[in-house]
């Protein structure tokens, strides 16, 4: 039962807040770096255009028409296909699984706000040891900040769509845009900028192996918050007569824009000061702080602002990762919002602690299988498998299970003559592309 609805701006900021997250500023630059830049970026951009758009419209449509939680909305729309309830519930669970590492990384970021405020590491080596020390042996520090993240996120979600989630996004998203935009303008004035452009946009196809391909497609889903019912759940609280297509356009544009702007800015700073673009998850925690140190006073200011912006991006996404299961708890299990928020919160909080342990030198070996520790496994299973699969389910649901007339009634007026193209790409192109990903995955696994 929905009482409070988003305002129009509130929805756009909340959906953009969900999409623009650690995926854009922390993950995208380091995976682009690891897979050699250009070719990877291109596959990601093509996926966003070809699949991201059409699946996002479908996901919003399900929430908008179903007006319920991520699982029940499917059944509300088509009561003859009850099995989709389970698909929706599994999707929503992916959100909590993602949260088990997402909250840990938000914790690192909160910790780094203090590092930036007190003393930035003076060299890459020193930065490396600060980061490695945190991961390897400062288990309690990590648990402390992970706890802070858990409390903040649960407190916002417990206040609901309007008083919690919309409010948070109305404040933090504009701040995030200003900080990232301002730092990007500064980066534009540096010589390293052209090298950053080359790195991000000159494809070197030899670097594109099948793992890079799967990662790029998975990342497109991850960064657009697709395939786990986050946007679906938000869309259930859209005001009547909302335009799903223009909302989608704005959210995709903001998300892609921020990823490219943040990537260009980071690589500019790195090139300007001779640091390496490919240093894994530690990229923004190792190379970047050392570069900020080199920049002097303005660097310190940048460092503090940057980690704040990263925290904002993370928190506004985190609430959308938790909300689908919280909503299921309320609708299906008749919990109060407070109880549901705490229960779902505890789920990711407790597993998150094991994720922290899986990075520490003491427990790493026990919690590593086949070259990936628990952190990497959860990241891989959710981003590369569960989200694309969730996207596929939604494409099939809207493309084949729903009656065409039902879909047309809402989207034909909004899409106009693009309706046919969208419908075709949702029914055939998106599933075909995801099938190719599945094949690649079988080869990779
Ligand atoms: N899109 C978010 C990011 O880029 C992560 C996310 C994934 C949020 C799926 C919600 C759903 O960080």
CATH of the domain at 359: 1.20.1740.10
- Which residue reads 């980061």 in tokens? 131
Residue of the nearest CA to atom 6 in ligand 1? Answer: 225
| pLDDT at residue number 444 | 55
Around Cβ 206, how many Cβ atoms within 10 Å?
A: 8
Residue of the nearest CA to atom 9 in ligand 1? Answer: 225
Residue 412 lies inside a defined structural domain of this protein: yes
Position in ligand 1 atom list of the atom nearest CA 28? 4
| DSSP classification of residue 207 | G
| pLDDT at residue number 56 | 97
How many domains does the chain fold into? 1
Q: Candidates 27, 52, 106, 222: which one to mutate for ligand 1, based on the most atoms within 8 Å of Cβ?
A: 222
Position in ligand 1 atom list of the atom nearest CA 387? 9
Residue 375 lies inside a defined structural domain of this protein: yes
Distance 313 CA to ligand 1 centre (A): 10
Distance 95 CA to ligand 1 centre (A): 9
Residue 2 lies inside a defined structural domain of this protein: no
In this prediction the pTM is: 0.94
Q: Candidates 169, 254, 320, 323: which one to mutate for ligand 1, based on the most atoms within 8 Å of Cβ?
A: 320
Residue 254 lies inside a defined structural domain of this protein: yes
Pairwise CA distance, residues 250 & 239, whole Å: 17
226's torsion region: left (phi>0), alpha (psi -120 to 50) or beta? beta
Closest to 226 measured CA to CA, from 97, 392, 9: 392
Q: Which residues of 182-202 are buried (b: 16+ CB within 10 A; e: fewer)?
A: ebbeebeebebbebbeebbee
Ligand 1 site residues, Cβ closer than 6 angstroms: 18-19, 21-24, 95, 98, 222-223, 225, 228, 230, 317, 320-321
Transcribe 111-167 into DSSP letters.
HHHHHHHH---SSHHHHHHHHHHHHHT-HHHHHHHHHHHHHHHHHHHHTHIIIIIIH
* Residue stretches of the chain with pLDDT short of 70: 1-3, 278-279, 443-445
Closest to 20 measured CA to CA, from 316, 311, 339, 303: 316
Give SS3 for 275: coil
Residue of the nearest CA to atom 10 in ligand 1? Answer: 225
- Which positions ≥6 away from 272 have C-beta within 8 Å? 190, 191, 192, 291
Distance 322 CA to ligand 1 centre (A): 11
Distance 19 CA to ligand 1 centre (A): 5
Residue 3 lies inside a defined structural domain of this protein: no
| Residue 131 domain boundaries | 8-441
Position in ligand 1 atom list of the atom nearest CA 24? 4
Distance 121 CA to ligand 1 centre (A): 30
Residue 261 lies inside a defined structural domain of this protein: yes
Residue 107 lies inside a defined structural domain of this protein: yes
Residue 1 lies inside a defined structural domain of this protein: no
């Amino acid at each position: 039962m929905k009482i409070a609805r988003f305002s129009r701006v509130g929805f756009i900021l909340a959906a953009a807040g969900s999409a623009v997250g650690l995926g854009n500023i922390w993950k995208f630059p380091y995976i682009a770096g690891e897979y050699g830049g250009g070719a990877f970026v291109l596959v990601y951009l093509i996926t966003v255009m070809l699949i991201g758009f059409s699946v996002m419209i479908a996901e919003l449509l399900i929430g908008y028409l179903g007006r319920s939680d991520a699982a029940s909305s499917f059944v509300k729309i088509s009561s003859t296909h009850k099995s989709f309830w389970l698909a929706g519930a599994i999707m929503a669970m992916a959100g909590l699984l993602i949260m088990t590492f997402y909250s840990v990384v938000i914790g690192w970021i909160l910790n780094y706000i203090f590092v930036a405020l007190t003393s930035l590491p003076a060299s890459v080596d020193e930065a490396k040891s600060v980061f490695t020390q945190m991961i390897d042996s400062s288990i309690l520090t990590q648990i402390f900040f992970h706890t802070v993240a858990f409390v903040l996120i649960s407190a916002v979600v417990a206040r609901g769509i309007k008083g919690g989630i919309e409010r948070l996004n109305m404040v933090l998203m504009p701040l995030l845009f200003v900080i990232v935009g301002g730092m990007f303008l500064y980066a534009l004035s540096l010589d390293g900028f052209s090298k950053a452009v080359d790195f991000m946009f000159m494809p070197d196809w030899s670097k594109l192996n099948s793992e890079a391909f799967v990662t790029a497609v998975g990342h497109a889903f991850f960064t657009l918050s697709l395939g786990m019912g986050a946007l679906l759940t938000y869309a259930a609280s859209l005001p009547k007569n909302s335009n799903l297509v223009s909302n989608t356009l704005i959210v995709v544009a903001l998300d892609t824009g921020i990823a490219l702007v943040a990537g260009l800015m980071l690589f500019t700073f790195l090139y300007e000061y001779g640091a390496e673009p490919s240093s894994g998850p530690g990229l923004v925690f190792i190379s970047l702080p050392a570069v900020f140190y080199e920049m002097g006073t303005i660097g310190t200011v940048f460092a503090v602002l940057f980690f704040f912006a990263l925290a904002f991006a993370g928190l506004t996404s985190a609430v959308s990762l938790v909300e689908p299961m919280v909503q299921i708890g309320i609708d299906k299990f008749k919990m109060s919002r407070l109880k549901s928020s705490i229960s779902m919160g505890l789920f990711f909080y407790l597993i998150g602690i094991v994720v922290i342990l899986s990075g520490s030198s003491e427990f790493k070996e026990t919690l590593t299988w086949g070259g990936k520790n628990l952190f990497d496994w959860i990241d891989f299973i959710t981003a590369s498998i569960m989200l694309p699969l969730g996207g596929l389910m939604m494409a099939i649901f809207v493309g084949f299970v729903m009656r065409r007339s039902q879909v047309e009634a809402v989207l034909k007026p909004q899409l106009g003559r693009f309706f046919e193209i969208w419908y075709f790409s949702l029914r055939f192109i998106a599933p075909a592309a995801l099938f190719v990903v599945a094949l690649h995955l079988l080869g990779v696994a």
